Structures are given as structure tokens and as C-alpha cells.
Structure 1
Amino acid sequence: MTLRLADVLADPDLSLRLADGDPAALQQPVRWCAVTELADPRPFLSGGELVLTTGLSQTCPSAQRDFVSRVASSGVAGLGFGTGLSHARIPPETLDEARARRLPVLEIPYETPFIAVDRFVADRVLEEQYGRFADLLDEHDTLARALLSGQGLGALVTALHQIVGAPAMVLSVYGQVLATAPSRAAWPVEQILFAARHRSPAAIPVCVPVCVEDVVVAYLCCRQPRSSADVLPYAVSLVGLEMARRQAELAGQRRLAGQVLEDLVRGTIGAPEASRRLSPFGIRDEDEHALLVATVEAADLRKRLVTSPPLSGATTALLEDCLIAVLEPGQSAREAARLLEAYLARLGSDVRVGVGGWYAGMTGLRWSYYEAYEAMSRGPGVNDREQMSLSGLLLASDDVPLRDLARDLLRPLCEFDAAHAGSLVATLRAYLDADGSVAAVADRLIVHRNTVRYRVEQIERLTGRSLSRTADRVQLWLAVAAARLDG
């Protein structure tokens, strides 16, 4: 129980008397005692003290008024004035200034030593702190038991709400309300996220970041706590443990699902085996599914992808440096792709998301993956699938070493460009895009047509391929397309 000025006044052994002050002011909490005879004790006061003085330095009315003004400005709980030593009674100027400052004044009789008042306050404050420490241990135990009950963040936040007497919430950095208590509580999610990200004043009194491996993953939010606010740091640590557990579980699931999908895409397992291994993830052979394939430029890419948040209603997996999402039947692929894009934008730059079509069966999953992968390769942002061509399938498949063949075919051109600051690769790309129109290439590259013809001759000589032959042109087109995929 908090020690208040009224408790000090009421102790019969101290024999104190209220010399002046509003009775309501006696409810001020007393944090400690400060004995002083300085004319200006402000450097040694921090607020909440009961200041004890005999007025030794207060020898004139102005000094008495100044002393009261100074201690009152420090936010002290009250003034205890010892009589019978420097002053037979409390000076009227002291009482007048205290009344003007709404500062309670207690008269301490000559028979009551200051050390008795100091000991009384110290014993009660220490008793209060010990009691609060015991209560805090009980509250820590309550929160830990709630988390270990198997009900996760929901039980933890409910227990925290009951302890602090105010609504509480765990909010992910992506704006998902992971748990809230009471359930009917409304939260200004966008305002909270904006304030947290820009370190501006929050829309609610308490918004504490929760970190896992020094990365902020969520915020513990609480409206004005009515009690036990010092339990919040422990609650934050428990939320961090639960978030780390969730990340580890999600990472394991993504690696397992990713291995099955990789085997399916590579053709190393058949449809029956893939169906059996994907069924624990809710992917059934008879349902239609669509795939999203996404990537982002970021440091520690695989680590960041494996711990990025789950998509509601989708099975997510990690395949090489891409995050794969297998959407459930009826889910909006476009909406899920936009959400995934927003998630990954927090991890780095150049976010690419490809959207595949809806197909049934394991073969359908594989086809949707190829469509999504080809769409992703077209550039940043969300790209919808296009009708899958044979060339697109070749480019998307790792079963065909197309990228290696492309590098070998284009190496002479790349080496020439590097040695002579040339533009043979750019010219070849423009020539193929323009369907062999020399005039269109010249306009695009802003060069003379004869320059384009000369470069085409160089390309044919260095590669050993003729751009007038269909078979050679197809090879060069595939090589350029594969090079674009590799950036």
C-alpha cells in the first residue's frame, strides 16, 4: 500500500500536527524524507519527498517565502517544520507561502526527533517496496503460466489485461492484431504503426517494441495501466519468446514444404508421393490451388524470408531464394500477392511477386509454379501470369541447363563489350525485340543503320550463329531471355 502524507500525520508515536493545508493534499504519496537546512535544496530534490527543516537558514520573511517556493517547485509531497529550535513556532510567512503553493505543512514538535520521522517513512516505503516485489513475482508467475497453458498470446494478453486493469494488445509489425484483451477493444492500428515506425508520439500511452534477434517483430500495446505497470517489461520478454517460437515453427514448416515442392518442380518425385507429403499442409490433390512466387533484394535473404510472416489461408514454403505461397481454393490471388508484396517491402528493395494460375492436382501445382516464376521474372511489383509458352517453360525449368548454355553462347559478346566498351549485347537484345528490323533498332539505340548492320555482323562472327537462320535466332533469343532472368 502506498505511503501517503496522511499516514505520517496519523502515526500516534510521532505526534505531528497539520499546521496548514487542504486535507485532500494529504493523499499525496511520500517517496522519501529529505532533511535540509539549505536555503535552496532544489539540486537535491527529485519530487515526492517529505522535506524536514528547522528553518535555520530562514532568518527573515523573504528567506522563508523563498524556501517554501523552491521546495514546492520541486514537486515535494509536503513540508515538515520542526519547532522549538530555530523557531518557537512556524513563521507566518512560511504558512502564507505554503498556502499559496497548496503545499501541506506539518508541525514537528521539539520532542519528536527528525530521525524518528525519517525512520517511520523509510520503514513504510521499504515495506511497500517489498510487498510490491512479492506481488510482482506473483504477476510474473501468472503471465508465465498463461503463456505455457498452450493458449499462446491470447492467454498471455488476457492475463496482462487483468493485472494492469487496462486493454492490452500484441500487434505485428505488419499490422496484424495477434492478440487483444478484451476482445471487443478497438485499436487505431495504422496510427500505432505510424507512431512506432517514425518514433512520434503514440496514439496510446504504452507501445513497446518486441524484438527477436535484435529485429522488431511486434509491439506490445496497452492503454493507460491502472496498476502494476512495472510488469510490462516482463510481459514484453514473454511475447518475444512466443514470437521466436512461432518463427521457429514457421521456419521448419516452410523448409519441409519447400523441400516437397522443390522435388515436385524438379520432377524427382511423382504425383502420388507429392500428394502424400503435401497433405499434412492442407494441400489436397482434388482441390484447385494457385501459387505465388516472390523474392526481394535483402541481406541474409533466406533467413529473412524464412521468418517473414505467414499468409492467412496459404501454405508458405522456401525454395532457393524465393518465397512460395500455395493459395487455398477461393482465396483472392491478387489480394494475397499485394499483401505479400507489402510484407517483403519491409525486408528490402526490388520486390517481385509472380501470380500463377489455378489448377488441380500435383501437375497443376507444378504448372502454376512455372507460370508464377516466369511472371516474377518480368520485373518488380506484382505480375500476373501470361499464357505459358514452350520457351517460358524452358526458362523456368531447372531441369534444362539453359542458363549455363546462355552464358556460354553470350560470353564472346560480353567479353567484347567489356574490352571495348561496346554494345553488342544491347544491340542483340534490341534486334530480337524488334523482330530483326534494322531501322527500329537504329531508332531505339540512336545510331546509324549501318552501325546496326556492322554490329550484327560482329555478333554473328563472334557467336558463330546467323541471325537470318530461324534455329540460330531461337537459340540467341533464349540466351538473351535467360540472361535477363539472371539480371
Structure 2
Amino acid sequence: MRLGELLAERGLGLRALTDVSGTGRSVSWAVPSELADPTPWLDGGELVLTTGLRLRSRAAQEAFVDRLVLARAGGVGFGTGLGHDRVPRALLARARQSALPVLEVPYETPFVALVRFCAERLAQERATATDLSGRRELLGRVLAEVLSGGFDEPTAERVLACHDVDLGRPHRVVLGTWAAAGRQAEARLAALPCRRVGAVFEGALLVVAPATSAEETAVELREVLARDPLHGAEAQVAVGPSGVGVRGLRAGCAAAREALERGRREAPDAPRLAELLATQGDPSVRQFGRRLLEPLVRFDSEHRADLVGTLRRYLETDGSVQATAEGLFVHRNTVRYRLARIEELTNRSLAATADRAELWLALAVAG
């Protein structure tokens, strides 16, 4: 929910005392607390409501703001008329330095009114998001089947047309996600309040846009990703080249994915090997990739693991266990355990160049 919605509700009488970036900033909930350090009970994105009863000194006020910033809180709703006649200057100054939104809550507005408003508005958003999430997750499964060669091209085009994806005209793939968020972010991406439906696919929101409006789609997607209270600063968007048909879709996905991984906004004009492999029509190569990865996919499904993601990250980081662990936010020993399972399940050695090449090829043709 955006802060602008709270400010626009006249019955609450709120006033923004810091820059809230055109009311585009978001909050995940409203939490009343009179603790000097409420952060152990925050998940990130909350609007913390306080009257400052324990924030008497300048040091306490500045420390309060610093803690909320580190906890990625969505902002402060400061109630005046009880502990303080106005919002303390030291708190405001530190909040402005840290770009933490501060709203003044008048004495006449009880905190429970704010909590109730947030609860009702978030319930409405989640009811809408549930339908949107389901559509994105379903389209993601369809795309995975299409990109892995599960349908012949005419069938794939008909199936995607049922989801309002027209491959008969020039299109471009737009991918959006948050850096280092990985598969853990898929639930948040599924509920992303973006008017482009798209699909949740391999840790990113994928939109197949008409070639003429792809840039507009990319700008909108980046803006929506940037509003996320937890990961907004890490928003990433990449746009693939224009293409037609299923082969164009495969090429666009491969190129946009590589652009994301390399931190580029646009995919390169010259095709790379992964893109060529994704667009070639020989089903035997895709079948080879599916057979090689199938034990890993099955293991991930049965054990809620991430062997495929770990393998991809490991190969992307040139076999660095440390970089893989940092990218997946897990311990190095967890990565080593997963790599051992990958070798066992695929009967391939990650120490052998030929075996690594086969695993890389399997991931490349899988999309």
C-alpha cells in the first residue's frame, strides 16, 4: 500500500513532514510501538506508529531512526499531543538525512484508525493480487513448458494466445526482478501491483510486450519494482531483442536473462551461444537438457531444495563456492552439500570441464 493512499484519506488527517517521493513509497503494515527499539518485531516495510514516550533525548531520537532504517521500515507515523507537542527536530533531521518518511498523526486520530485503514486496504489489494498471482504462476508454468520444447511451435503459439500472449507479431521479452533476490522473491513478484500481467519465471517477472511498447513496459516495471519496501533499491530490468514466434520468444528470454545477469539494460545485438542454443530447432538437444536436469528438478520439487538454482549460480560465478553462497544467502557448507547432491544425481563431476560443459548446455537450452 502506498503512503499516498494514507495521506489522501482526509479522515485520518495525516501530514507528510519529509519527502515521500511523490507518494509512491509503500508500506506493508502499520505497527504501534512505544519501544525505543521496535526492530526485533519488524519484518520490513512497516509504518511504525509512536508518540515518542521513550524518545526524550536527541541521541534516543536519532538512534530510533537509525534502527528503523537498518530494519528497512516503511516510515514513521508520529502521534503528537501526548509525549510531544510536535515531532522532535532531531528525529526529523535524521529521518530526512536517511530518506525515511515521517508522517505526523494528529491527536484526534487514534492509532487504531490507521491500523484499521491499512488492514482494510491491504485486504482489498490481496484479494486482487490472489487472482493476479494465480494468473502469473500459471503462465509461468506454461512458458516453462514452451521454452523447454514441451509443445510444437503451432501448439505453443495457440496455448500462449489463450493467455493473451501474441507471438505472431514482433515482440520483445522484458524481465524484471531484484538483484540477488533469487527464487525466494517469486511470491512477491507474483503479487506485484503492475498492470502488466506477465509470468513468474525463474525468479523474475517476465512480460512479452509488443515490440513497439516494450520500452514503456520496461520503465513501468522498473518503477513498480523500485517501490518494494524490502528490495526496491535492487530493482533490475532487462529487455531482449525483437522477435517473432516461439523461436523469437526463446531468443528474447535467453538474451534478456543474460543481460540481467551481466547488469545490462539492453541485450546485446550480436547473439551469444546461449541464445543460439535456445533458438535452434533440434528437439534432441532440448531433450538431452531436460533428461540431465530432470533428477535435480524432481529433487527440488520433493524436498523444496534449490539444486537447479545452485548449479546455475555456481556455473555463473566460474565455480566459486563463496560467490555462490553469497548470491543465494546460504552458508558455504550448504553450497558444498548441494553440489555433492548435483554430482550424485546427474552422474557428472563439477571438477571435469566436459561434465561442466554438459550441465551448462542443459541449463542454456532449458531457458
The structure with the largest strand share of the pair is 1
Higher relative contact order structure (alpha carbons within 8 Å, sequence separation ≥ 6)? 2
Larger Rg: 1
Query: Which TM class, normalised by the smaller chain length?
Result: 0.3 to 0.5
TM-score by length of 2: 0.45
TM-score by length of 1: 0.36
